Amino acid sequence: MKIRLIELRDAPKLLDFESKNRDWFERTIDSRGEYFYCSFGVLSHIEECLYEYQQDVLLPMLIVGDDGQILGRINLSNIDQFNCRAELGYRVGQAFTNQGIAKEAVAQIKQHAQQYGLEKLIAYAATTNPASQKVLMANEFAVIEEHSNFATINGVSLTCLELECSLI
């Protein structure tokens, strides 16, 4: 398993991955909307990600198996070169949970963050998502704050933990 930069040619596989995992993802994050779940929608999304990558504010990566299958996504967003920090986000397909994939992907993206010259990563995990908290803490993230009403998913207000990882 490895992480790599998303590419336009990934659109068909990404659409398949996102469609298969839509219900799974939408239990814990906002829906991307119907527009996203078609060839044009996914292609537009990838183009937007690559534009933000060229602007050095996003590092959009795929988590792929040795066979090239998409297992998940991981990214650094809101990259702030001045303050040497970024936000980490990831999602792993339902069929690939509890296999150490997220833990390894986070470890790999930390290396990319260091190559970017970043010194700190921030991540958020819902208090109702202990698996994500465990992945982050296994990668040297520590809780720095709890945010009530951080997000509303499917009409339910979520409390999230803000976690931080020093890269220096």
pLDDT per residue as tens digits for the range 35-56: 667 888 899 999 999 999 999 9
Domain coverage including residue 22: 2-166
3-state secondary structure of 157: strand
Residues 94-105: b if buried by 16+ CB within 10 A, e if exposed: eebeeeebbebb
Burial of 6-30, coded b for 16+ CB within 10 Å and e otherwise, reads: beeebbeebbebbeebeeebeebee
User: Which of helix, strand or coil describes residue 165?
Assistant: strand
- Using the predicted structure, report yes or no on whether residue 12 has a pLDDT greater than 60: yes
pLDDT in tens, 85-101: 999 999 999 999 899 99
Alpha carbon distance 150, 159 (integer Å): 6
Q: What average pLDDT does this structure show over 5-17?
A: 96
pLDDT digits (tens, 9 = 90+) for 130-168: 999 999 999 999 999 988 877 666 667 778 899 999 999
| Domain count across the chain | 1
16: domain CATH number is 3.40.630.30
pLDDT surpassing 60 at residue 67? yes
pLDDT tier at 34 (50, 70, 90 boundaries)? low
The torsion angles phi and psi of 44, rounded to 5 degrees, stand at: -60, -40
Other Cβ atoms less than 10 A from the Cβ of 168: the count is 7
Of 89, 82, 33, the C-alpha closest to 58 is: 89
At 26, is the pLDDT very low, low, confident or very high (cuts 50, 70, 90)? Answer: low
